[in-house]
Amino acid sequence: MLNLVLDFDGTMADTFKPSPNEIGVSEAYCLAVDELFGEKGGKALCAVGGLQNRAPIELIHALQAKGIRISGRLEDAAENLVKTKMEVLLREITPNWPLPCAGYAEFNEELCRLSKRKKHLRLAILSSGHTSFIERTLKTWKKEWESLFWPSIIISDDNVRQLPISMEKKIKPSPFLFQLVREKMSEGSFFYFGDDPAKDGMLAVNAGVPFGWFSSGNKKALPSEVVPFLTFSNWKEVAFVLEYL
């Protein structure tokens, strides 16, 4: 069994590019932080360099370090941040946003074609985002495409946000996240694909799986420990090598 595990934001879907209403993932976080913490929250968000692919609880922790007062647990503050952000983000989903990353539509076609030929493969999504957003986006794509290769599982921030474990275990590059994938997809070989060389690349290293780096428009340097088996800027390149994985 071939298990392809993909990050979502910036890997499958171009969610960092704003919608027609000028709202993307980063902008939704800015609006949510402003609503919850006011002007001080916005300044703190700038001070920590913006979202930077952080999970909600990770972002809350960074804001707290910049003097933002959090009442109660980090988990509860993260829950409020997610709720506020999702009220903004979900209504932005249309056939025009978010669009699939370069070549993903063709990659999807290849997955469907290979599955019809009885090649044993499964798709999983491992994301710091949220299941409702991911599923609604995929359903929108499904209406536009002839067929969509639906993931067998989605492991998102929603699965770990309230777990009674340390924050470090809940966020990339913690191997605990990949352990959750393995528990659901126990057999076969695993390959992980993502756009963030530090968070996704090091997650693959920590989990002991090959890493495919979607490097399109990414200016971040690879950590020395990360040696991708494939570096690509268009999913068509992965579709081409699927037969050989």
Q: In the prediction, which pLDDT does 12 show? A: 98
Q: The CATH number of 2-14+98-244 is which of 3.40.50.300, 3.30.565.10, 3.40.50.1000, 3.30.420.40?
A: 3.40.50.1000
CA distance 66 to 132: 30
Q: In the prediction, which pLDDT does 187 show? A: 85
The CA-CA-CA angle for residues 67, 80, 151, to 5°, reads 120
CA distance 45 to 51: 8
End-to-end CA distance of the chain: 10
Which residue positions in the chain have pLDDT lower than 50? none
Q: In the prediction, which pLDDT does 116 show? A: 84
Q: In the prediction, which pLDDT does 214 show? A: 97
The pTM score is 0.93
Q: In the prediction, which pLDDT does 117 show? A: 80
- Helix ranges (H only) for the chain are 25-47, 56-65, 74-89, 104-116, 131-144, 157-160, 167-170, 175-184, 199-207, 235-241
Q: In the prediction, which pLDDT does 103 show? A: 96
Cα distances (angstroms) measured from residue 191 to each of 118, 165, 229? 19, 26, 9
Q: Beta partners for 193? A: 6, 212
Q: In the prediction, which pLDDT does 216 show? A: 83
Residues 6+ apart with CB under 8 A from 240: none
Closest to 107 measured CA to CA, from 147, 159, 69, 73: 147
Q: In the prediction, which pLDDT does 229 show? A: 95
What is the side-by-side strand order in the sheet with 211-214?
153-155, 121-126, 2-6, 189-194, 211-214, 230-232
Q: In the prediction, which pLDDT does 244 show? A: 80
The DSSP result for 33-45, as a single string, is HHHHHHHHHHHHH
Mean pLDDT of the chain: 93
Residue spans per domain, the chain: 2-14+98-244, 25-92
Is residue 46 helix, strand or coil? helix
Q: Beta partners for 153? A: 124
**DSSP single-letter state for residue 67:** T
Is residue 81 helix, strand or coil? helix
**Widest pairwise Cα distance in the chain:** 57
pLDDT tens per residue, range 224-234:
999 999 999 99
Q: Beta partners for 231? A: 213
